[in-house]
């Protein structure tokens, strides 16, 4: 009996030691390894997948740990790049600490810019993202019922997405962020017009203090039925037609697109980019001015816009701008 008890004791000690080692001793890959846990996978399947990928030493110990600790194991893609104790692996999956990719959308990015970034960071193809943005307009049907795409409503921010996130999920997150921003500044009515105007303001100046003034120029021209004649809308028309060549040509200014504000009076039919908060606020609250013209800050070496109320003043501003360009040694 004593020998049996001693043997039993030794077995228990060895088993406890093996269990402790499996739980606490670091194990797993030293090189980057991704494990994809699909929705609906059982804990047994998850444990088997982790064991097969070399993340844990024993699937049975992992299952025992899960039974003791409880909780829910979350689906997603997990990144492992160093040996770790099994309890750490289990805790990461319980918390849903999935691997994500950062996607930063600067203010003024248009749909094509965002799609290119999506593809560049490995979140999907540019074409698939653009197609989804044109199909999922139901996301903003209450804000802009006739919108041909989600352009204007993909709020500039830094997002983090799992690598297998589909375009629809990414778009929904961006639109949700827009809604929160719009609510925060009281943008609840006339959303289509406000976002469209804000997108023009966003493209014309990077200077926050100038945005309400730029908005006032557009509003003054609209009130007098003067074409806005804004280059960014011409560029957007060329992008939509797939003919933009990096600069504006005379043929672009003569194009029949509704986005060509040189030929068509009024606002373009929709936003030409995704404006930030300051431009949205400027479109909601333009400055009170009599300006009808301006030379945009982005084109001026002095780094600021030149505003004028008459064509004569504007001609002087254009000449001053050209002198500044020549002095800076830039092509006009």
| Three-state secondary structure readout of 97-121 | CCCEEEEECCCCCCHHHHHHHHHHC
Q: What confidence score (pLDDT) does residue 230 get? A: 95
| Domain ranges within the chain, ordered by starting residue | 23-95, 101-184, 191-328
pLDDT tens, residue by residue, 63-85? 999 999 989 999 988 999 899 99
Calculate mean pLDDT across residues 151-160.
98
The reported pLDDT for the residue numbered 323 is 78
Identify which of 68-82, 288-302, 316-330 has the greatest average pLDDT: 68-82
Architecture per CATH, domain 23-95, reads as: 2-Layer Sandwich (3.30)
- Can you list the positions of beta strands (E) in the chain? 33-37, 76-80, 100-104, 158-162, 293-295, 306-308
Of 100, 130, 101, residue with least CA distance to 113:
130
**Is residue 328's pLDDT more than 80?**
no
State the average pLDDT for the chain: 90
pLDDT at position 13 over 50: no
Confidence of residue 137 (pLDDT cuts 50, 70, 90): very high
Higher confidence at residue 177 or residue 314? 177
The pTM score is 0.82
Which residues, at least 6 apart from 98, have a Cβ–Cβ distance to it below 8 Å? Answer: 74, 76, 77, 78, 162
């Amino acid at each position: 009996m004593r020998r049996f008890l001693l043997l039993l004791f030794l077995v228990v000690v060895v088993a406890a030691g093996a269990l402790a080692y499996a739980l606490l001793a670091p194990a797993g890959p030293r090189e980057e390894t991704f494990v994809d846990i699909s929705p609906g996978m059982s804990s047994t399947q998850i444990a088997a997948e982790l064991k097969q990928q070399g993340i844990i030493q024993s699937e049975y110990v992992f299952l025992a740990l899960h039974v003791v600790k409880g909780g829910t194991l979350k689906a997603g893609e997990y990144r492992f790049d160093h040996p770790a104790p099994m309890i750490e692996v289990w805790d990461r999956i319980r918390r849903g600490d999935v691997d994500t990719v950062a996607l930063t959308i600067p203010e003024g990015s248009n749909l094509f810019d965002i799609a290119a970034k999506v593809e560049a960071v490995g979140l999907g193809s540019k074409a698939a993202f653009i197609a989804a943005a044109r199909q999922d307009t139901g996301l903003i049907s209450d804000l802009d019922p006739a919108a041909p795409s989600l352009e204007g409503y993909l709020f500039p921010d830094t997002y983090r997405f799992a690598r297998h996130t589909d375009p629809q999920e990414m778009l929904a997150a961006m639109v949700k962020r827009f809604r929160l921003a719009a609510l925060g500044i009281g943008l609840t009515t006339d959303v289509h017009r406000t976002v469209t105007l804000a997108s023009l303001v966003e493209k014309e100046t990077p200077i926050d203090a100038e945005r309400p003034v730029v908005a006032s120029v557009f509003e003054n021209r609209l009130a007098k039925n003067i074409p806005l004649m804004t280059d960014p809308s011409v560029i957007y028309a060329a992008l939509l037609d797939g003919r933009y060549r990096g600069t504006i040509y005379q043929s672009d200014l003569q194009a029949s697109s509704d986005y060509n504000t040189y030929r068509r009076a009024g606002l373009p039919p929709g936003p030409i980019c995704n404006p930030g908060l300051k431009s949205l606020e400027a479109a909601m609250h333009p400055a009170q001015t009599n300006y009808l013209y301006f030379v945009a800050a982005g084109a001026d070496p002095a780094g600021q816009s030149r505003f004028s109320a008459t064509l004569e003043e504007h001609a002087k501003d254009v000449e001053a701008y050209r002198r500044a360009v020549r002095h800076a040694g830039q092509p006009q």
